[in-house]
Amino acid sequence: MAPYTVRWGIIATGGISKQFAKDLLVDPSSRDVSDVKHEIVAVGSRSVESAQSFIDHLKSAKPEDSWSWGVQNGLLDGVKAYGDYHGVYNDPSVDAVYIGTPHNLHHRNAKDALLAGKPVLCEKPFTMDVEELDELISIAKEKNLFLMEAVWTRFHPIAYAVQKVLDSGRLGRPKRFAADFSGDAKLDATGDRMIDPELAGGALLDMGPYPSVWAMLTLHHDKHNKDKDPKVITSHQTIYKRTGVDANSRWVVQWDGLCQAALLTDLENSGLKEATAVVQCEEGDLCIEYPPWRPETFHLVPRPTHHVGSIKEKETHQVPCHPGNNGMSYEADEVARCLRDGKIQSDRMPWDESRIVQGWFDVVRKNGDSVLKDYKGQAGQ
């Protein structure tokens, strides 16, 4: 049977949209996929010049670039450049819209796309608060349209491999969890969106989705977990004084009857190479190596004390993404399969799990003292 094809419209021409667009153009067979494929039919930007230069950049792929396969095989043929986003939402040739704008525009852009009748894949963090997210979910339900947060890491081969080890029962019950996404961004020397309050900058919203994704994949999905509404029990933010956003955020989540997770994100210090996320279990520890957004290696590590579990020797598992792939093709394949199967949400990245993480961010933000503390999202507007 011919593969199911999704014709994508891309919203915004920034860094992550470029990565995503390139991954749409990589040969699906290079990641062992034959049931779905992707085309790019429209690019929307605040300026038509930027949309056109985005397209020109894609088309200028050199033979050694992995996305040149898509250019050579016509996946960009006929792509249109729009000088606004509505052109893409209203283009009848667009099957699904990808949104790669700054955080505080996600709700507006996703809402406009849904109201125009388009399925949506929206970058993380999904929205600015749970109210905004609930509004998007209710529009998606009402219009019977697919909607998903683009938490690409969920779809990486290593995410399934880590869960397989935990599901096997070899490590026993999780007892404790910690995860960190940090990087020294040299804040005093930068003016970019990461620290711009006008673009909802700060560590929490930008980087917080990554420690969260590992907590969700390991603890929330653990077979021993019965708590479907894990809550933040304490949090702290350190404020970057020049712009008032959070330079770091720490929060502890409780899964009642299972364990606690300590989550950290920091724009002023480097992360931990061998332990970006650690699930400590009865029989040993599962340690995932940096970077949390696209790790390739995890270890099973014996206990250091006399209470040794059944893991006696360190074991290393390497599970990279397929070569030539930035790691974003997998989430696009998920969207394609959901559209093909008539689903409006993904089983792998369901709305209620986006809501849980969005809810943590709301609590941490409100407990803190950043300029976004009292930020009210635009639900209803």
Task: Kindly state the smallest distance separating residue 3's Cβ from ligand NAP, in Å.
Answer: 24
Q: Which is nearer to ligand NAP, 43 or 171 (CB)?
A: 43
CA separation for the pair 335, 107 (Å, rounded): 19
CA separation for the pair 273, 118 (Å, rounded): 40
CA separation for the pair 333, 321 (Å, rounded): 14
CA separation for the pair 60, 79 (Å, rounded): 14
> Where does this chain touch ligand NAP (CB under 6 A) — which range of 6-14, 60-68, 128-136, 269-277?
6-14
- Selected binder of ligand NAP within 3, 14, 197, 359 (CB under 6 A): 14
Contact between 193 and ligand NAP per CB under 6 A? yes
- Selected binder of ligand NAP within 37, 107, 111, 124 (CB under 6 A): 124
Q: How far is CA 254 from CA 225, 262, 338, in A?
A: 11, 9, 32
Contact between 333 and ligand NAP per CB under 6 A? no
Contact between 120 and ligand NAP per CB under 6 A? no
- Selected binder of ligand NAP within 123, 149, 289, 334 (CB under 6 A): 123
Report the site for ligand NAP in 80-109 (rule: CB under 6 A): 100-103, 105
Contact between 13 and ligand NAP per CB under 6 A? yes
Q: Which is nearer to ligand NAP, 206 or 285 (CB)?
A: 206
Residue nearest ligand NAP, CB atom distance: 14
- Closest CA relative to residue 114, chosen from 347, 376, 344: 344
Report the site for ligand NAP in 129-188 (rule: CB under 6 A): 150, 152
Contact 215, 225 (CB under 8 A): no
Task: Kindly state the smallest distance separating residue 105's Cβ from ligand NAP, in Å.
Answer: 6
What DSSP string runs through 206-233?
HHTHHHHHHHIIIIIT-TT---SS-EEE
Contact between 199 and ligand NAP per CB under 6 A? yes
Task: Kindly state the smallest distance separating residue 50's Cβ from ligand NAP, in Å.
Answer: 5
Query: Going by DSSP bridges, is the β-strand pair 147-149/174-182 parallel, antiparallel, or unpaired?
Result: unpaired
Task: Kindly state the smallest distance separating residue 326's Cβ from ligand NAP, in Å.
Answer: 9
Q: Among positive and negative, which fits the CA dihedral 60, 63, 68, 73?
A: positive
Contact between 375 and ligand NAP per CB under 6 A? no
CA separation for the pair 129, 375 (Å, rounded): 9
Q: Which is nearer to ligand NAP, 116 or 252 (CB)?
A: 116
Q: Which is nearer to ligand NAP, 14 or 183 (CB)?
A: 14
Contact 186, 156 (CB under 8 A): no
Contact between 354 and ligand NAP per CB under 6 A? no
Task: Kindly state the smallest distance separating residue 176's Cβ from ligand NAP, in Å.
Answer: 27
Report the site for ligand NAP in 202-261 (rule: CB under 6 A): 206
Q: Give me Rg for the CA atoms of the chain.
A: 21
Query: Going by DSSP bridges, is the β-strand pair 315-318/259-266 parallel, antiparallel, or unpaired?
Result: unpaired
Report the site for ligand NAP in 41-80 (rule: CB under 6 A): 45-46, 50
User: How many residues interact with ligand NAP (rule CB under 6 A)?
Assistant: 22
Q: How far is CA 109 from CA 105, 112, 127, 129, 217, in A?
A: 6, 5, 10, 15, 28
Task: Kindly state the smallest distance separating residue 367's Cβ from ligand NAP, in Å.
Answer: 21
Q: Which is nearer to ligand NAP, 46 or 57 (CB)?
A: 46
Task: Kindly state the smallest distance separating residue 181's Cβ from ligand NAP, in Å.
Answer: 11
Q: How far is CA 180 from CA 107, 194, 272, 274, 282, in A?
A: 27, 17, 8, 11, 22
Contact 11, 98 (CB under 8 A): yes
Task: Kindly state the smallest distance separating residue 347's Cβ from ligand NAP, in Å.
Answer: 20
Q: State the maximum Cα–Cα separation within the chain, in Å, rounded to a whole number.
A: 66
**In the block, which residue shows the tokens 């507006």?**
108
Task: Kindly state the smallest distance separating residue 331's Cβ from ligand NAP, in Å.
Answer: 9
Task: Kindly state the smallest distance separating residue 346's Cβ from ligand NAP, in Å.
Answer: 15
Residues within the interface to ligand NAP (CB under 6 A): 12-17, 45-46, 50, 100-103, 105, 123-124, 150, 152, 193, 199, 206, 293
